Amino acid sequence: MIVRFTLFATLLALTGITSAKADNYKIDPAHSAIIFKAVHLGVGNLYGRFDTFSGELVLDPNDSAKDSVKVEITTDSIDSNSAARDKDLKGPDFLNAKQFPTATFKSTAVKKVDDKDYEVTGDFTLRGITKPVTLAVQVIGTGPGPRGETRLGTESTVTLKRSDFDMKTFSQVVSEDIQLRIAVEAVKQ
């Protein structure tokens, strides 16, 4: 009986190891930022940010192909350090935040480049238009937080063409390429 029980327990433990659950991480907005950069009039870089966003990362320690990333940005939370410009950016000329309150990124493939760098391909949806994009993701670090929780930090960049998302106006003033930088700290759940 004892032998049988020991065998069963060992099998159970082995099963648990081989099907080790993927780690779920939730983005901590207080320690994260989503910033964008546009070239203004061809003479200077203009930076802005989105204040409200959420997202989660699923990391499989055994198979990076099973990793996934999901980010949701509230378009109405855009802040470019000018209330008048923000009003225009939120309006129908640019983000049309009332009709399209969120922009989303959902990964479709994660490719490990080296220990720190990943290429995350996925669908980016803005203004109701979905385009495939590839984020260059760098893992900044991982470790314990002040409450003993596990934290993971990454920084990703991607360059979007605004005309791909039906934002064609003011091409003389605002650059076609918009660089998006997503720096997140995520907490293991």
Partner 1 sequence: MGSLIGQGIVGIALPALLALVLNGLVLRSSALTESRKWPLIGLIVAGCFVFSYSVIVGGITFPPREATHWLPFIAVGAVVFGSILQFTGGIARSIVRLIAALATAWTVLQSQTFGRWPLLISVEWLVAVTLILFATSRLIERGGAARGTPTEILLGMALAAGFGGIALFLGGSVVLGQICGAFGLVLAGLTALTFFLPPAHLGPIIPLIYVLALGSLLLSGSLFSDLPWPTSGLLWIAPFGVLIGPPAMPLGKNRNVRLLLRGLIVLVVIGLALVALFLIVQPNSNEY
47 is an interface residue for partner 1 by CB under 8 A: no
177 is an interface residue for partner 1 by CB under 8 A: no
**Coil, strand or helix at 13:** helix
Exactly one of 74, 169, 175, 179 binds partner 1 (CB under 8 A); which one? 169
131 is an interface residue for partner 1 by CB under 8 A: no
d(CA 112, CA 119): 6
Exactly one of 128, 141, 144, 145 binds partner 1 (CB under 8 A); which one? 128
Exactly one of 87, 112, 116, 161 binds partner 1 (CB under 8 A); which one? 87
- Residues 27, 56: contact at Cβ < 8 Å? yes
**Cβ of residue 84: shortest distance to partner 1, in angstroms?**
4
Binding residues among 16-35 for partner 1 as defined by CB under 8 A: none
127 is an interface residue for partner 1 by CB under 8 A: yes
Q: Which of 66, 27, 55, 67 is nearest to 153 (CA)?
A: 27
In 42-116 the beta strands, taken as DSSP E runs, fall at 44-50, 53-59, 68-74, 78-79, 102-112
Residues that bind partner 1 (CB under 8 A): 40-41, 82-85, 87-88, 90-93, 96, 98-99, 127-129, 163, 166, 168-174
